[in-house]
Amino acid sequence: MIRFEHISKAYKTANVINDISFEIHKGEIVVLIGPSGCGKTTTLKMINKLIKPSGGKIYIDDKDIAQEETIALRRNIGYVIQQTGLFPHMTIRENIDIILKLEGVAPEERDKKTKALLDMVGLDPSVYMDRYPTQLSGGQNQRVGVARAFATNPEIILMDEPFSAVDPITRQQLQDELVNLQAKLKKTIVFVTHDMSEAVKIADRICIMKDGDIVQYDTPENILKNPINDFVSTFVGKNRIWSNPAFIRAQDIMNPNPVTAYQEVSIIKAIENMRLRRVDKLLVVDEKNKLIGVAPARLLNHHEPKSDPVSAVMYTPKVLATPYDSIVDLLTAVKTHDIHNIPVVGDDNTLLGLVTTSALVTTLSQQFIDFEEVANHD
Confidence of residue 377 (pLDDT cuts 50, 70, 90): very low
Residues 170 and 42 reside in one and the same domain: yes
211 and 285 in a single domain? The answer is no
Question: Do 180 and 257 sit in the same domain of this protein?
Answer: no
71 and 190 fall within a common domain: yes
Confidence band of 233 (pLDDT split at 50, 70, 90): confident
Distance CA(97)–CA(110), nearest Å, equals 6
For the segment 40-55, the average pLDDT, to the nearest whole number, is: 95
With contact defined as beta carbons under 8 Å apart, do 43 and 214 qualify?
Answer: no
The whole-angstrom separation of Cα 154 and Cα 135 is 28
Question: Do the beta carbons of residue 248 and residue 240 sit within 8 Å?
Answer: no
Residue (of 231, 239, 207) closest to 220 by Cα position: 207
On the 0-12 / 13-18 / 19+ scale of CB atoms within 10 A, 28 is middle
Average pLDDT, the chain: 88
Same domain, 25 and 6: yes
pLDDT of residue 177: 87
Task: Assign 366 a pLDDT band (cuts: 50, 70, 90).
Answer: low
pLDDT tens digits, 136-158: 988 888 889 888 888 888 999 99
Structural contact between residues 189 and 159, judged by C-beta atoms closer than 8 angstroms: yes
Clarify whether residues 133 and 47 are in a common domain.
yes
Of the pLDDT bands very low, low, confident and very high (cuts 50, 70, 90), residue 322 is very high
328 and 226 both lie in a single domain? no
Sheet holding 55-60, edge to edge: 14-24, 2-11, 55-60, 63-64
Residue 353 forms part of a structural domain: yes
CATH code, domain with 313: 3.10.580.10
Q: Is the pLDDT of residue 83 over 80?
A: no
The reported pLDDT for the residue numbered 54 is 94
Buried b (16+ CB within 10 A) or exposed e, 327-353: bebbeebbeeeeeebbbbbeeebebbb
Q: Do residue 306 and residue 272 come from a single domain?
A: yes
Residue 374: inside a domain: no
Per-residue confidence (pLDDT) for residue 368, from 0 to 100: 47
Asked if residue 367 is part of any domain, the answer here is no
What band does 370 get if pLDDT is binned at 50, 70 and 90? very low
Check residue 369 and give its pLDDT.
Answer: 42
Q: How many Cβ atoms from other residues are within 10 Å of residue 223's Cβ?
A: 29
* 3-state DSSP of the chain: CEEEEEEEEEECCEEEEEEEEEEECCCCEEEEECCCCCCHHHHHHHHCCCCCCCEEEEEECCEEHHHCCHHHHHHCEEEEECCCCCCCCCCHHHHHHHHHHHCCCCHHHHHHHHHHHHHHCCCCHHHHCCCCHHHCCHHHHHHHHHHHHCCCCCCEEEEECCCCCCCHHHHHHHHHHHHHHHHHHCCEEEEEECCHHHHHHHCCEEEEEECCEEEEEECHHHHHHCCCCHHHHHHHCCCHHHHCHHHCEHHHHCECCCCEEECCCEHHHHHHHHHHHCCCEEEEECCCCEEEEEEEHHHHHHCCCCCCEHHHCCECCCCCECCCCEHHHHHHHHHHHCCCEEEEECCCCEEEEEEEHHHHHHHHHHHHHHHHHHHHHC
Instruction: Output the pLDDT for position 360.
Output: 79
Percent of the chain residues past pLDDT 90, beyond the cut = 49
Query: Which of 178, 210, 243 marks a domain boundary?
Result: 243
**Does residue 155 lie in a domain region?**
yes
Query: For 241-294, how does the pLDDT look when each residue is reduced to its tens digit (9 = 90+)?
Result: 556 666 778 888 888 989 999 999 999 999 998 888 888 889 999 999 999 999
| Closest of 360, 349, 350 to residue 250, by C-alpha | 360
Residue-number span of the structural domain to which 273 is assigned: 251-362
Range in 162-176, 185-199, 215-229, 312-326 the model is least confident about: 162-176
| The predicted structure's pLDDT at residue 247 | 73
Supply the pLDDT for residue 244.
64
Q: Are residues 156 and 41 in the same domain?
A: yes
pLDDT, position 26: 95
Domain boundary among 213, 243, 273: 243
Q: Which pairs with CB-CB distance under 8 Å and at least 24 residues apart come from 50-56?
A: 51/9, 53/7, 53/8, 53/9, 53/17, 54/8, 54/9, 54/10, 54/17, 55/6, 55/7, 55/8, 55/19, 56/4, 56/5, 56/6, 56/7, 56/8, 56/19, 56/20, 56/21
Strand order in the sheet with 188-193: 77-81, 156-160, 188-193, 29-33, 205-210, 213-218
Evaluate whether residue 377 is within a structural domain: no
Q: Which of 183, 208, 243 is the last residue of a domain?
A: 243
Q: Which of 306, 285, 286 is nearest to 297 (CA)?
A: 306
370 lies in some domain: no
Residue 372 domain-assigned (yes or no): no
Q: Given pLDDT bands bounded at 50, 70 and 90, which one contains residue 332? A: confident
Q: How far apart are the first and last CA of the chain?
A: 44
CATH no. for residue 37? 3.40.50.300
Domain count along the chain:
2
pLDDT at residue 315, rounded to an integer: 93
Amino acid letter for position 298: R
Domain identity same for 12 and 78: yes
Residue 365's pLDDT is 62
**Do residue 301 and residue 358 come from a single domain?**
yes
57 & 168 share domain: yes
Taking residues 149-168, what's their average pLDDT? 88
Name 301's Cβ contacts closer than 8 Å, sequence gap at least 6: 271
Is the model's pLDDT at 11 over the cut of 80? yes
Residues 203-229: what's their mean pLDDT? 91
Query: What's the whole-number mean pLDDT along residues 116-126?
Result: 90
Residue 202 has pLDDT above 70, yes or no: yes
Q: Tell whether the model's pLDDT for residue 376 goes beyond 60.
A: no
Which segment of 75-79, 102-106, 298-302, 303-307 scores lowest on mean pLDDT? 102-106
Residue 378 domain-assigned?
A: no
Q: Taking the complete model, does pTM exceed 0.75, yes or no?
A: no
